[in-house]
Structure 1
Amino acid sequence: MDSAEGRDDAAWNRRVRDETETQRLDRNWSNLLQELRVVQTGVQLLTGFLLTLPFQQRFEELSDAQEVIYLVTVALSVTATMMLVAPVGIHRLLFRQHALPTLVATGQRLAIGGIAVLGFALVGVVLLIFSFVVDLPTGIIAAAVAMLMFFGFWILPSLPNRRSTGDPHTHESL
């Protein structure tokens, strides 16, 4: 959207919700924190699980390919964890700096990126487990199904309604 449409969105917010820009930013930040609370728990559990695997007796049975899959999956999971926790750290660094627009915009981008990376980490977990329990071709098929599920459940439903206001400080009117 161009900036005129972004202004229309801000006008809609004022007219329909009767909220100021600051109130909208506060609401967006609060919504983002609630969403992060939900996803952070899952990604942190996944990361913790992956970090314990090398200490399991059967870990030595992994093939070279499975070790690579494991390491890539751990890197993805740790990256997702960092991205999904980062908005809280940024909030602490920007506390009382009157940087709410930056905080909301940056938190939004990190949350979307973190969820995307989490999706790839989950696909990696499926690939690793199925390749270890059955075989690599079955793992690839299972990972492809997991990837389709990721796009089908997380990405595709949002595409028809996803829009940008053109204003880096105005991301949505939810």
Structure 2
Amino acid sequence: MVQVRDPGRQETAEERADRRWGDLLQELRVAQTGVQILFGFLLAVVFQQRFTSLSTTDRTIYVVTVVLGAATTGALIGPVSFHRMLAGQRLKPQTVTWASRLTVVGLVLLLCTVASSLLLILRVALHSALAPWLVAAVVCWFVCCWFVLPALARRRYRDRDGSDEGSQSSDEGS
């Protein structure tokens, strides 16, 4: 098999996949730690004495939050399983692409988990109609930091360079 070198980095497709996989693992370490701590705290809430005094709405929000936390954990740990199941199959570039997509799903789920956790906490703490507005503001901030700013930077620098080097199809997940 002939290895074609990427003109931008002078690396083969396999070298590029290895680099992208290493980058993705570093990103996952940060996200996994946060979601595991959050999920652990969520699991402990149900065993607190005050849990029984929550309203039906707050208990529903709690259940949705725990389910979102479990789904987030699955999505952010999924790339490790994906890699392990495909290791040695000569599918590293495809594995990195799928793991990258699963990580983005995990980030969206993490956003939802944080939002519903915050909603529950603020409803209990504030007992006011302000809680959903505060959650909406935080969600907007997260969306801006996690998705909008990277998309704007990608578009700006791709347009400035006049190239499509940073496009999703050419280097997804890098």
For Structure 1 versus Structure 2, the TM-score category normalised by the shorter chain is 0.7 to 0.9
Letter of the 1:123 counterpart: A
Superposed counterparts of 1:1-174, under 5 Å: 14-160=6-152, 161=154, 164-166=167-169, 170-171=171-172, 174=174
**Aligned equivalents of 1:166 and 1:69: distance in 2?**
38
Give the residue type in structure 2 aligned to 1:30: G
The TM-score with structure 2 as length reference comes to 0.85
CA RMSD of aligned residues (A): 1.8
Q: Which runs of 5+ in 2 are unaligned?
A: 156-165
Q: Secondary structure at the match of 1:130?
A: helix
How many residues align? The count is 160
| Change over 3 Å in CA distance of 1:16–1:48 after alignment to 2 | same
SS in 2 for 1:16: coil
Higher relative contact order (CA 8 A, sep 6+): 1
User: Structure 1: which 5+ residue stretches go unaligned?
Assistant: 1-10
Distance in 2 (alpha carbons) for counterparts of 1:144 and 1:57: 29
Percent identity of paired positions between Structure 1 and Structure 2: 37
1:136 to partner: Cα distance: 4.8
Q: TM-score, normalised by structure 1?
A: 0.85
Distance in 1 between residues matched to 2:60 and 2:131, nearest whole Å? 14
Q: Note the C-alpha offset of 1:74.
A: 1.0
Residue 83 of structure 1: CA displacement?
A: 0.3
In structure 2, the residue matched to 1:3 is: none
Indicate how the Cα distance of structure 1 residues 90 and 156 shifts in structure 2: closer, same or farther if over 3 A, else same: same
What is the CA distance between 1:166 and its match in structure 2?
3.8
**Stretches of 4+ aligned residues off by more than 6 angstroms:** none
